[in-house]
Every structure is written in structure tokens, then in C-alpha cells.
Amino acid sequence: MKKLRVKPGEKIRLRDFDPGDTSLAPGDKEQTNAMSERLTTRLAELQELLYAEHRHKLLIVLQGMDTSGKDGAVRHVMRGVSPLSVRAVSFKKPTQVELDHDYLWRVHAQTPAAGEIVIFNRSHYEDILVVRVHELVPEKVWRKRYAHIRDFERMLSDEGTIILKFFLHISREEQRKRLQARIDDPTKRWKFQAGDIEERKLWNQYMKAYEDALAETSTDEAPWIIVPANQKWFRNYVVARVVVDALEKLKMSYPQPDLSKVNLAEQ
């Protein structure tokens, strides 16, 4: 998975990354799905261990264009974990109260506590993507936010949070197919909004904004992983693989209670 990781300071051209590439899969689609099943089982074990040890925190950030599969990644990769200590957070248009504070105020309140996994389905990165593309704030404002975010994530890392950031990379043609599928399928039509078409017209502007964001904010403590996401089965495998690997590196162990004075036979 190191091939997909953006090195700190590395300049990114997304056209150099094939969103249909599955060369890092452990086999064909069937074999990869089988591996993904094993990974989700392992993730459930590690999540229980994370909660029991109650030392570390895991923040997963999912970003990508409309239809890139953020919801699907959450649904497939996290389907085996206990809801006791896992939360998915989706940041919508800021409320007036949120606008009255700094842009990271509402984000910090949703970061994981000890023993918890939190998934950001869209995130604080909207404040250097959407605001830039739609010119909601001047460049001198959004450009400063790269440093703000690096410092914010460094602070979270210093306080024990593991941060994994995934950019789900799809092609423009794949997005067209998925939008059309939403229109054609009555059970998916509720996901479609007229604004999706307007956002699609800004594809090139979003690609440039993402390239700069990935380059400016991928750090050793909070790396970006570019996930080729045209194939959903490969997307799910990559996300599961990276998350499991990160948790296993923590070398966690179950806490041992003091049983020296416990004798259930006397109870």
C-alpha cells in the first residue's frame, strides 16, 4: 500500500494515477473479496481490542468526488465492527452557530475519544476544496488553511490519534455512469440531486484543488492514501488493508485486571 501513499511535500498530478488500476489486489475480484472478508473479521477483533485497551484513537477521513464511494466504503469495511465505539460523521453545510466559530470548531468536537474509531465522510477538507472551487472565501484565506490543518492534525496525533486519510479516486466517466445509475434505479434515485450535475461541470477545478490539498497536507502523522476507486471491490480492499495494518502496528493488548483477591467459589 506504500505505492498509494502521498509522501510529505510530494507534488501530485491525479492524471498520473489510474482510477481503474487494481494491480495491488491480492488476486482477481473473487480472491480479493475473500481477502476483504478476512480483513473485516480481523478489523472487528482489533476494534474490540482498541476499545478494551482504551489508549489509542483512530480517525479515518474519506474524501472524493460525488459517487466516489464514501458511503460504500464505510458500509462494507465497517460492517463487522461493534457500534459501541465506532461513529460515522458527515459534515453538511455549516449552521449559523458553526459559521460563528472558526471552521475547525465543529470538526474538533467530533474527533475520536480514547478507544474509539470515527469515520469522517467528508471532513474539514471541504473548507479548502468547496470554498476554493466556489470562491466562497478569498485565496489568501483558504491558502492559510493548509497550515492550520497540518497543525490541527499534528496536535491530534500528538495526543494519541491515529489518522488515516483516503482520497477515493474515480474517473469522470465512472462518475457519469454512477450518476446515471442513480437516476435509473428507483431505490437509488433519492441520492441524486440536480446540484450533482452543476458540481460535475467543475471537475477540473476540483481535481486541481485536490492535487494541492493532497500535496500540502499529507504528513508522516496524517498521510493521504490515493485509492483507485473505479472498482468498488478494490476500493474496499485497500481501505480495509490500510486500516488493519495501522491498528496491528499499535501492538495492543488486553488490560489485565487484578484477580489476586477474587475467589468466585466463595460467592
Query: In percent, how much of the chain has pLDDT > 90?
Result: 82
Check if the beta carbon of residue 240 is closer than 8 Å to that of residue 75: no
Question: Over the range 209-232, which residues count as b (16 or more CB within 10 Å of their CB) and which as e?
Answer: bbbbbbbbbbbeebbbbbbbbbbb
What is the per-residue pLDDT across 88-125, written as a single tens digit (0 to 9) for each?
A: 999 888 899 999 999 999 999 999 999 999 999 989 99
pLDDT for position 190: 85
Q: In DSSP terms, which residues pair with 66 in a beta bridge? A: none
Check if the beta carbon of residue 47 is closer than 8 Å to that of residue 82: yes
- The pTM (predicted TM-score) of the whole model is 0.93
pLDDT band at 194 (very low <50, low <70, confident <90, very high): confident
Check if the beta carbon of residue 236 is closer than 8 Å to that of residue 43: no
pLDDT band at 130 (very low <50, low <70, confident <90, very high): very high
pLDDT for position 265: 62
What is the per-residue pLDDT across 206-257, written as a single tens digit (0 to 9) for each?
A: 999 999 999 999 999 999 999 999 999 999 999 999 999 999 999 999 988 7
Class level of CATH domain 2-253: alpha beta
Rounded to 10°, the helix 203-217/126-133 angle is 150
- Which residue in this structure is represented by grid cell 484543488? 209
pLDDT for position 175: 96
Check if the beta carbon of residue 25 is closer than 8 Å to that of residue 228: no
Q: Which residues are CB-contacts of 143 (< 8 A; sequence separation ≥ 6)?
A: none
Instruction: With CA atoms as reference, report the closest residue to 179 among 79, 88, 65, 259.
Output: 65
Amino acid letter at 266? Answer: E
Q: Is the pLDDT of residue 259 over 80?
A: no
Going 182 to 185 to 187 to 189, the CA torsion angle's sign is positive
Q: Is the pLDDT of residue 184 over 70?
A: yes
Overall size of the chain counted in residues: 267
Q: Is the pLDDT of residue 187 over 90?
A: no
pLDDT band at 61 (very low <50, low <70, confident <90, very high): very high
Query: In percent, how much of the chain has pLDDT > 70?
Result: 97
pLDDT for position 262: 67
Q: Is the pLDDT of residue 63 over 90?
A: yes
What is the per-residue pLDDT across 139-177, written as a single tens digit (0 to 9) for each?
A: 999 999 999 999 999 999 999 999 999 999 999 999 999
What is the per-residue pLDDT across 31-40, written as a single tens digit (0 to 9) for each?
A: 999 999 999 9
Rounded to 10°, the helix 29-53/70-77 angle is 70
Check if the beta carbon of residue 50 is closer than 8 Å to that of residue 117: yes
The mean predicted confidence, pLDDT, of the chain is 93
pLDDT band at 264 (very low <50, low <70, confident <90, very high): low
Q: Is the pLDDT of residue 267 over 90?
A: no
